[in-house]
Structure 1
Amino acid sequence: MAHVVTEACIRCKYTDCVDVCPVDCFHEGPNFLAIDPDECIDCGVCVPECPVDAIFAEEDIPSGQEHMAELNAELSHLPDWKPITKRKGSLPDAEEWRDRTDKLGELLR
């Protein structure tokens, strides 16, 4: 089982989680992070680091977010989604997006 980044990360992209990941399983897109399920060792150290509570163990994904497991797997294997191993600043308007829901659709790039 792997951990999964859910919609709460979209348009925020806080990267506190990548600093603590012992296996560098996070991949970075323009406005979202994804976890490579093939690399994740299910240690869970990233979960409490996420300021928007966007990371869950696969068996604990909130209702309505189950699709994010497959999306993380897909995105983390795209050639343009490179591994990220060091914390970066969040997106400039992250605070505006932090509490919004249903961000997937047109907002994920």
Structure 2
Amino acid sequence: MTHVVTESCIRCKYTDCVDVCPVDCFREGPNMLVIDPDECIDCAVCIPECPVNAIFAEEDVPANQVQFTKLNAELSHAPGWKSITKRKPALEDAEEWKDKTDKLKELVR
């Protein structure tokens, strides 16, 4: 089992979750984070750290977000998506985007 970063992270990219991850399973893209399912140990410490509630245990991913399970696996191994292990500032306009939905079209790969 693994954890999954969902749509809420797109265009926000808060990195509070990275500071608590004991295995460094987060990967950073231009405007989103993902979790490498091969590295995640299912400890769940990242879930309460996410200010936009974007992280779920795989079995708890909302039905309308299930595609993010595959997307996390794909992007965590994509060129340019590097490991992130320390907190960084959120994207400049994160506050503006944090409550928006239907953001998949905004994802920069």
Q: How many residues align?
A: 108
Mapped partners of 1:71, 1:32: distance in 2? 11
> What is residue 6 of structure 2 aligned with on the other side?
6
Distance 1:8 1:27 in 2: 16
Cα shift at 1:79: 2.0
Residue 22 of structure 2 aligns with an amino acid whose one-letter code is: P
Aligned to 2:74: 74
Q: Give the counterpart letter for 1:42 in structure 2.
A: D
- Paired residue secondary structure (2:52): coil
2:59 maps to 1:51: no
Residue 26 (structure 1) aligned with residue 26 (structure 2)? yes
Q: Which structure 2 residues correspond to residues 83-94 of structure 1 after superposition, within 5 A?
A: 83-94=83-94
CA distance in 2, matches of 1:96, 1:44: 27
RMSD: 0.4
TM-score, normalised relative to structure 2: 0.98
TM-score of the aligned structures, taking structure 1 as reference length: 0.98
Unaligned runs of 5+ in 2: none
Give aligned-pair identity as a percent: 75
Q: Which amino acid aligns with 2:72?
A: N
Over residues 66-104 of structure 1, what are the superposed CA-to-partner deviations in whole Å (9 max), with x where a residue is unaligned?
A: 000000000000120000000000000000000000100
- Could you report, residue by residue, the CA deviation over 1:33-82 in whole angstroms, capped at 9, with x for unpaired residues? 00000000000000000000000000000120000000000000012000
Query: Hey, what does 2:107 align to over in structure 1?
Result: 108
Q: Write the distance in 2 (CA, Å) between the matches of 1:47 and 1:74.
A: 21
1:17 corresponding residue in structure 2: 17
Unaligned residue ranges in structure 1 (runs of 5+): none
1:64 alignment partner, SS class? helix
* 1:98 partner amino acid: K
DSSP 3-state at the match of 1:74: helix
